[in-house]
Structures are given as C-alpha cells and as structure tokens.
Amino acid sequence: MHVHLDGTTPIYMQIAEWLQHEIIADRLQADQKVYSQYQLAELFNINPATAGKGLTILLEEQLLYKKRGLGMFVTMDAKERILLKRRNEILTKMAQEIVLEAKRLLVSDEELLVLIRKTQEGLE
C-alpha cells in the first residue's frame, strides 16, 4: 500500500492527519499499536525523521502514548479527542465568518444574537 501526499501541506502534518483519519475510521483503535516511523517512511516514501515528527504531534496531543521498547499506541480517548477538536475548529471558523459578515452588513451584535436565537428556536 502506497499513500499519496499533496504538495501544499508539510509532510509531517499530512502524516499526523492521515493517522487521525485512520483513528476516526476505526482502522486504528484504542490501545492498538500504530505504525513505527520506519513503517510510515516506507509507506509514504519519506524520511523516517519526517514520519517521526508526524507521530510526535499525535504524542503531544495525547492521541498516542509510548510503551518503552514496544512503540506507540492509540490512547483510549483518541477518537473522541479528534472529533471534539474538529467540531470545535469547524464551529469556531463558521462563527468567525458569521461575525465578519454581520459586521460587513452593519448588523449589530444584539441583532446577530437575536437572529441566532430565532434560528435555534426554528430548529427545536
């Protein structure tokens, strides 16, 4: 299996994203061993140090943990952490876009809040 990388995002970030996607898709599950940096290097045809950098990101985000001499494993709550982070990032971005558009249209904060409340009520 060979995986294609895009040319715009740093490779180590793409490795981290790919591993997160594998966790979300349940192809990597809680307490399961993940690929080593050497396996990732071979899979993606990249330098092992670059692959290691991608693993380190997930380690720092507490999505992976190390077992000395055995490698890295998926944390129990990795999938939930990834989903929560993505939800928060998407909602934050959408909220920023709404606020910017409201300012462009000269909608006051109060008017915007009323609009949001009406929208919530309409969905209930």
The vertex-11 CA angle with 45 and 46, nearest 5°, equals 20
For residue 107, being part of any structural domain is answered with: yes
pLDDT category of residue 4 using cuts at 50, 70 and 90: low
Neighbours of 108 (CB within 10 A): 10
pLDDT in tens, 56-113: 999 999 999 999 999 999 999 999 999 999 989 988 999 999 999 999 999 999 999 9
86 with 65, same domain?
A: no
Domain at 47, CATH number: 1.10.10.10
47 with 86, same domain?
A: no
110 with 88, same domain?
A: yes
67 with 85, same domain?
A: no
Question: In which domain, by residue range, is 69 found?
Answer: 11-76
pLDDT in tens, 20-38: 999 999 999 999 999 999 9
64 with 86, same domain?
A: no
23 with 60, same domain?
A: yes
Tokens of 1: 């299996």
Q: What is the pLDDT of residue 109?
A: 94
